[in-house]
């Protein structure tokens, strides 16, 4: 049965169930809402009839009017920065309200799973970020905007690729093979596609659910935390038009640009190689001094790149109908030639209230994005390979055109990458529609039923054509053009049915939900590789001489029941309990269903009479929680052994063969994640300082783990439940109004988190797991082993070079070692150097992460600075495998000059001898010679804004201009461009720099205009 059938049914039920209303005394109430501090009207206060979804919004002067069906109703007045008030109407037609300022917004309503809750009454760990906090940041993705703003959430911009490259990790989330991404939920829709094509301007607020009490309601997908995104909703009131735009320029910072040999240095190096190896020096290299700087290839493929973003939103509404529409356009050119990202987006959120007890919403958000980013990032990408190009080779021909190749004698054939980037045809596009529809009906006082249908649909198409003027290292130019076309389309639908009951009885306040949800996902992929094109002229697949195609279909489904009770007594004793039961198609019939319960309690001490009246303490809450969440990120069919094709030939006849292709564990089940949390919320000095502390402890057991098995079995791995991990950490956040005067305010938000993890047991036969993108010679770059953090950096310990014969004779060595070659530590003490000497060499996990935002407002000026950073994490700079390659086939870092030349000139010890046949250990055995401390402090953003003072009668409602610098500076000892780099996002592959796309610095000017 499809979603439409279900929705139709629910709709019919509802239509049938709507009864004529009992007559009540209707009344029209109006009044003005003013601020206690200055007596002026407060604009846009939200006014809601308690226990219903009926409401209105005050105008700019604080005036409001609302129709009530019951003259004894209660009105709830709320506005950001003010304490919420509930006022009984008692038949009055005019109600003026004076609201108290509440800077810390403790009565703010925060979005939680399947509902909302006041922060005051929250007993779980939830962090909230409002759109205002990140509005000015000129970045394509909202996740980048959260950098440094949320405690316990590490957000790393691992690459500068336009429109991409953000890694989000909540509370150090890690799993060995089951992923570490949080679940993203947009307006209640657990989305399956990425978040990169969501226009940040559509977002109203973001809630990060961290502890199990907050996440367990998302059951089997909640182990890595949940991020709830609420988009901007219309409210009844005046028509508003807002236009926000910025335009800027992106630049590759000077810091971190690799310092490669220039032409003169390179020719000297090539000459010395030949001399050292007793070969004839090529005439091109005989007189290095005839060369100057030569071509700076990094410069040749980077550029200043413009970026612009426009967002127009219109919002209007009456009591029965409100709508808001946001249209966005982003265009971000890449700082690497040829790359870029463009996004067109639209979101229309509409609410209908045909009846005061019925609320129907339609939200739809199509986006279309395109990029040209193929092959510009990561290992083997142009960024890394361009650096290896000969500085002797000219960028341009004498006539000014770009050359085709860029090779010097004795080097790998290499194309001119500037030309390749220009001529390669890349056409990647994504179309995405997020839509949801809901109907909420008030069945009785405090009793609501809500049903919703949600759709996440996406289509992507990636096309790359490599013509004869493009190429790659090792091949030079492609003689024969080839192309690839990858297409995928997916549809995920979710149906949710929730019953909610809220009641207050003599100080006992209950808010309970029960519900059930279904979700189904289907994705079709196809890949077409086309080759043997006759020429570059026609690039469509049909023009290719040879075409191979493959396709795949992936599906999963999830069926869930959930229930939650939030209870408080007298607003000071808090309790929340929830349970979700999930059934998933990804598991075998025996282990298909999993239960995910949680409970949390809180106590607002500051409300107690026995608390001494301490002026300084205005609010104090203790809370603790415990719960279980799950992780179902495994393949869709892992529990089913599959049979795939294995074709052969007999004579000239093709034989369609088949084989069993995986070792399936039919008993595979949920990875479970038990989490304990204890926390304190404290407000001091009349709420001018607020402080939050959390300690958590998580145990992940029955890890979904793709264990390598001996290939003698015919299989390479088995996905199974094995082993246990523990995580624990401390999170602190402080908000402070340092100065709070009429014309001058200064606030500081600071957070710091200490996250730790440890592997308690592994259950593999050797109790260790070697993974990662590193050298295949020692099996990988990372080791996960009992008693250590997950995914430690793994390799050889480099101890310099064998400086002289005596040292060589007295040291353990490898069969290819010579005097002057790399010397590694004999870790196992067997007197020879082999791969068995590989060991833990570094830790990619930071000791702590932190972020700080300062905001200053002086008269009409505003100024803000955001910082973030990490301390104590290591990065293995794998790109040095080529950047310091001693074979002489690439250009290398200029400090390779400090290599071993003779016992008399041993150099820095980092680089060994050039002797033929001896260089590969240093090159291919990754080790401590490539390891660096990547602790850093980023100045993420600096913004200076000016808001024009406007007359009441002004054409504009709001007018502000600002300038900002994004990624202003980074303080670090890491020699590479980006200390946040990680080629892989897997927990068992962190901290490898394979040569990534540089993160640009962006200078922008922007405007906010409201009408």
Partner 1 sequence: MKIKTILVGIMSLALGSCEDFLNIPPENAVTPENFFQTESDFQQAVDGVYEPLQDLYDSQASWAMAEMRSDNTHYFYNVDFRFPPPEEIADFLNGSENSVSDDRYYANYDIIARANQVLAVIDEANFDQAVKDNFKGQVLFLRAMAYFDLVRFYGGVPLHLEPATSMESASLPRSSEEEVYNQIIADATTATTLLPNKGNQQAGRATSGAAWTLLGDVYLTLEQWSNAEDALTNVNGYSLLDNYALIFDPANKNHEESIFEIQFLENTSLGLHSYFPYYFVPLTDNHAQLTLGPSGSQSAPQSGWNIPTEDLLSAYEDPDNDERFEASIGFHTGPSLVSDTSYVNLPYIKKYQHSHSIFGQTNQNFPVYRYAEVLLMLAEAMNEQERFTEAQNYLNQVRNRAGLDNYMATGQVDLREAILHERRIELAFENKRWLDLVRTGNAVEIMNAYGAKLKSNPDYYYLSSATYTVDQNDLLFPIPFLEIQVNPDLEQNPGF
Kindly identify the residues of this chain, within the stretch 434-463, that bind partner 1 according to CB under 8 A.
Answer: 443, 447, 449, 451
Nearer to partner 1, 433 or 915 (CB): 915
Contact 353, 318 (CB under 8 A): no
DSSP string of 333-363, one letter each residue: E-SBTT-EEEEEEEEEEEEEEEETTEEEEEE
- Cα–Cα–Cα angle for 826, 832, 835, nearest 5°? 70
SS3 of the chain: helix, strand, coil, percent, to 5: 10, 50, 40
Judged by CB under 8 A, does residue 738 bind partner 1? no
Judged by CB under 8 A, which of 81, 409, 534, 571 binds partner 1?
A: 409
Q: CA of 150: how far to CAs of 80, 154, 444, 732, in Å? A: 19, 8, 39, 10
Under rule CB under 8 A, which residues in 293-312 are in contact with partner 1? none
Judged by CB under 8 A, does residue 805 bind partner 1? no
- Taking CB under 8 A as the binding criterion, the range among 154-162, 302-310, 765-773, 897-905 that sits at the site for partner 1 is 765-773
Nearest CA to 318 out of 342, 351, 284, 290 is that of 351
Q: Which helix (H) or strand (E) holds 544?
A: none
Judged by CB under 8 A, which of 651, 742, 810, 951 binds partner 1?
A: 651
Nearer to partner 1, 479 or 952 (CB): 479
Q: How far is the CB of 217 from partner 1 (least distance, A)?
A: 18
Nearest CA to 151 out of 994, 853, 896, 892 is that of 853
Q: How far is the CB of 231 from partner 1 (least distance, A)?
A: 27
DSSP string of 191-252, one letter each residue: --S-STTS-GGGEEEEEEE-SHHHHGGGGGG-TT-EEEEEE----SEEEEEEEEEEEEEEE-
Under rule CB under 8 A, which residues in 582-641 are in contact with partner 1? 583-585, 589, 592, 636-637, 640-641
- Taking CB under 8 A as the binding criterion, the range among 11-19, 82-90, 242-250, 342-350 that sits at the site for partner 1 is 11-19
Q: CA of 295: how far to CAs of 113, 262, 961, in Å? A: 56, 7, 41
x/- track of binding to partner 1 for residues 875-914 (CB under 8 A)? ------------xxx-------------------------
Collapsing DSSP to helix, strand or coil, 794 comes out as strand
Under rule CB under 8 A, which residues in 536-555 are in contact with partner 1? 545-548, 551-553, 555
Judged by CB under 8 A, which of 25, 94, 611, 655 binds partner 1?
A: 655
Nearer to partner 1, 505 or 712 (CB): 712
Judged by CB under 8 A, does residue 412 bind partner 1? yes
What is the Cα–Cα distance from 587 to 853, expressed in whole angstroms? 44
Q: CB 211: neighbour CB atoms within 10 A?
A: 30
Judged by CB under 8 A, which of 616, 646, 685, 739 binds partner 1?
A: 646
Contact 579, 562 (CB under 8 A): yes
Under rule CB under 8 A, which residues in 822-841 are in contact with partner 1? 834-835
Nearer to partner 1, 14 or 575 (CB): 14
Residues in contact with 113: Cβ distance below 8 Å, sequence separation at least 6, in sequence order: 185, 209, 214, 215, 217, 218, 226, 228, 564
Judged by CB under 8 A, does residue 556 bind partner 1? yes
**Count of residues that bind partner 1 according to CB under 8 A:** 111
Judged by CB under 8 A, does residue 251 bind partner 1? no
Nearer to partner 1, 96 or 552 (CB): 552
Nearer to partner 1, 553 or 611 (CB): 553
- Taking CB under 8 A as the binding criterion, the range among 502-510, 669-677, 705-713, 852-860 that sits at the site for partner 1 is 705-713
Judged by CB under 8 A, does residue 647 bind partner 1? yes
- Taking CB under 8 A as the binding criterion, the range among 145-153, 353-361, 408-416, 608-616 that sits at the site for partner 1 is 408-416
x/- track of binding to partner 1 for residues 31-60 (CB under 8 A)? ------------------------------
Under rule CB under 8 A, which residues in 920-979 are in contact with partner 1? 920, 924
Under rule CB under 8 A, which residues in 458-517 are in contact with partner 1? 474-480, 497, 499, 516
Nearer to partner 1, 331 or 834 (CB): 834
Judged by CB under 8 A, does residue 410 bind partner 1? yes
Contact 345, 312 (CB under 8 A): no
Q: How far is the CB of 796 from partner 1 (least distance, A)?
A: 12
Contact 228, 639 (CB under 8 A): no
Judged by CB under 8 A, does residue 643 bind partner 1? yes
- Taking CB under 8 A as the binding criterion, the range among 12-20, 193-201, 392-400, 971-979 that sits at the site for partner 1 is 12-20
What is the Cα–Cα distance from 569 to 607, expressed in whole angstroms? 12
Q: CA of 894: how far to CAs of 15, 295, 898, in Å? A: 76, 14, 9
Contact 176, 703 (CB under 8 A): yes
Judged by CB under 8 A, does residue 26 bind partner 1? no
Beta bridge partners of 681: 621, 692
Q: How far is the CB of 1 from partner 1 (least distance, A)?
A: 7
């Amino acid at each position: 049965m499809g979603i439409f059938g279900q929705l139709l049914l629910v709709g019919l039920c509802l239509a049938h169930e709507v009864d004529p209303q009992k007559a009540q005394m209707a009344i029209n109430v109006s009044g003005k809402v003013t601020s206690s501090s200055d007596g002026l009207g407060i604009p846009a206060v939200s006014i809601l009839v308690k226990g219903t979804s009926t409401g209105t919004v005050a105008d700019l002067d604080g005036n409001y009017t609302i129709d009530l069906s019951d003259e004894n109703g209660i009105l709830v007045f709320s506005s950001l920065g003010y304490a919420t008030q509930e006022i009984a109407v008692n038949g009055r037609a005019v109600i003026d309200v004076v609201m108290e300022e509440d800077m810390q917004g403790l009565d703010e309503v925060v979005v939680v799973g399947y509902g909302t809750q006041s922060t005051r009454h929250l007993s779980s760990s939830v962090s909230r970020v409002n759109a205002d906090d990140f509005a000015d940041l000129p970045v394509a993705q909202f996740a980048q905007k959260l950098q440094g703003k949320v405690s316990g959430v590490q957000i790393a911009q691992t690459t500068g690729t336009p429109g991409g490259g953000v890694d989000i990790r909540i509370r150090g989330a890690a799993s060995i093979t089951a992923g570490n991404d949080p679940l993203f939920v947009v307006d209640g829709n657990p989305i399956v596609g990425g978040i990169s094509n969501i226009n940040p301007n559509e977002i109203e607020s973001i809630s990060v659910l961290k502890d199990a009490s907050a996440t367990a309601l998302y059951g089997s997908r909640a182990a890595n935390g949940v991020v709830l995104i609420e988009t901007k909703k219309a409210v009844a009131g005046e028509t508003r038009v807002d236009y926000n735009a910025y335009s800027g320029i992106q630049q590759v910072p000077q810091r971190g640009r690799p310092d490669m040999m220039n032409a003169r240095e390179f020719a000297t190096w090539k000459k010395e190689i030949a001399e050292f190896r007793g070969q004839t020096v090529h005439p091109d290299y005989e007189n290095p001094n005839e060369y100057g700087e030569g071509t700076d290839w990094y410069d040749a493929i980077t550029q200043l790149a413009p970026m612009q973003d426009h967002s127009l939103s219109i919002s209007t509404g009456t009591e029965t109908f409100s709508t808001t529409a946001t249209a966005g356009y982003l265009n971000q050119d890449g700082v690497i030639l040829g790359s870029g990202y463009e996004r067109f987006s639209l979101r229309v959120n509409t609410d209908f209230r045909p009846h005061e007890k019925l609320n129907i919403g339609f939200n739809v958000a199509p986006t279309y994005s395109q990029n040209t980013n193929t092959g510009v990032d990561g290992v083997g990408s142009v960024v890394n390979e361009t650096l290896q190009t000969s500085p002797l080779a000219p960028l341009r021909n004498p006539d000014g055109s770009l050359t085709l190749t860029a090779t010097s004698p004795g080097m790998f054939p290499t194309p001119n990458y500037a030309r390749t980037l220009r001529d390669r045809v890349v056409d990647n596009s994504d179309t995405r529609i997020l839509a949801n529809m809901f109907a909420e009906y008030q069945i009785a006082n405090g009793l609501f039923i809500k049903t919703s249908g949600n759709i996440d649909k996406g289509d992507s198409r990636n096309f790359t054509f490599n013509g004869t003027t493009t190429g790659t290292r090792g091949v030079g130019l492609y003689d024969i053009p080839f192309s690839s076309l990858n297409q995928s389309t997916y549809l995920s639908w979710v149906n949710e049915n929730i019953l909610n009951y809220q009641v207050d009885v003599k100080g006992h306040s209950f808010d309970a939900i029960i519900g059930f949800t279904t979700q189904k996902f289907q994705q079709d992929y196809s890949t077409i590789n086309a080759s043997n094109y006759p020429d570059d002229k026609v690039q469509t697949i049909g023009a290719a001489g040879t075409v191979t195609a493959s396709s795949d279909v992936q599906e999963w489904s999830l069926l869930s029941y959930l229930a939650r009770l939030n209870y408080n007594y007298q607003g000071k004793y808090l309790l929340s309990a929830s349970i979700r039961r999930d059934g998933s198609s990804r598991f075998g019939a025996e282990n298909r269903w999993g239960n995910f319960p949680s409970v949390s309690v809180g106590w607002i001490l500051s409300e107690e009479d026995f608390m001494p009246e301490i002026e300084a303490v205005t609010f104090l809450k203790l809370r603790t929680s415990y719960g279980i969440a799950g992780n179902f990120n495994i393949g869709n069919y892992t529990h089913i052994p599959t049979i795939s094709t294995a074709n052969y030939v007999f004579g000239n006849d093709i034989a369609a063969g088949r084989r069993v292709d995986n070792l399936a564990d039919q008993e595979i089940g949920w990875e479970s994640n038990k989490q304990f949390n204890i926390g304190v919320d404290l407000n001091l000095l009349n709420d001018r300082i607020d402080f939050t502390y959390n300690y958590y402890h998580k145990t992940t057991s029955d890890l979904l783990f793709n264990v390598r098995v001996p290939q003698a079995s015919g299989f390479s791995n088995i996905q199974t439940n094995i082993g246990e991990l523990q995580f624990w950490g401390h999170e602190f956040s402080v908000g402070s109004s340092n100065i709070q005067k009429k014309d001058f305010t200064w606030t500081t938000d600071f957070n710091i988190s200490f996250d730790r993890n440890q592997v308690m047991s592994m259950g593999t036969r050797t109790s260790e797991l070697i993974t990662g993108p590193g050298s295949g010679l020692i099996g990988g770059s990372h080791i996960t082993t009992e008693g250590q953090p997950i995914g430690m950096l793994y390799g050889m310990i480099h101890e310099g070079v064998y400086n002289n014969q005596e040292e060589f004779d007295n040291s353990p060595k490898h069969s290819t070692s010579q005097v002057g070659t790399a010397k590694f530590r004999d870790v196992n003490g067997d007197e020879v150097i082999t791969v068995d000497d590989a060991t833990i060499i570094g830790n990619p996990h930071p000791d702590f992460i932190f972020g700080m935002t300062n905001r200053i407002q002086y008269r009409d000026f505003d100024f803000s600075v955001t910082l973030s950073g990490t301390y104590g994490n290591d990065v293995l700079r794998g790109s040095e495998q080529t950047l310091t390659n001693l074979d002489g086939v690439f250009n290398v870092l200029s400090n390779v000059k400090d290599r071993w030349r003779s016992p008399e000139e041993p150099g820095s010890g980092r680089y060994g001898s050039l002797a033929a046949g001896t260089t590969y250990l240093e090159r291919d055995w990754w080790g401590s010679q490539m390891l660096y401390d990547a602790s850093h402090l980023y100045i993420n953003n600096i913004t200076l804004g000016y808001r024009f003072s406007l007359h009441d009668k002004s054409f504009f409602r709001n007018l502000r201009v600002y300038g900002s610098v994004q990624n202003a500076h980074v303080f670090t000892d890491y020699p590479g461009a980006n200390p946040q780099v990680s080629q892989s996002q897997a927990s068992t592959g962190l901290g490898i720099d394979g040569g990534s796309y540089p993160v640009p610095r962006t200078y922008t000017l922007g405007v906010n205009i409201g009408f």
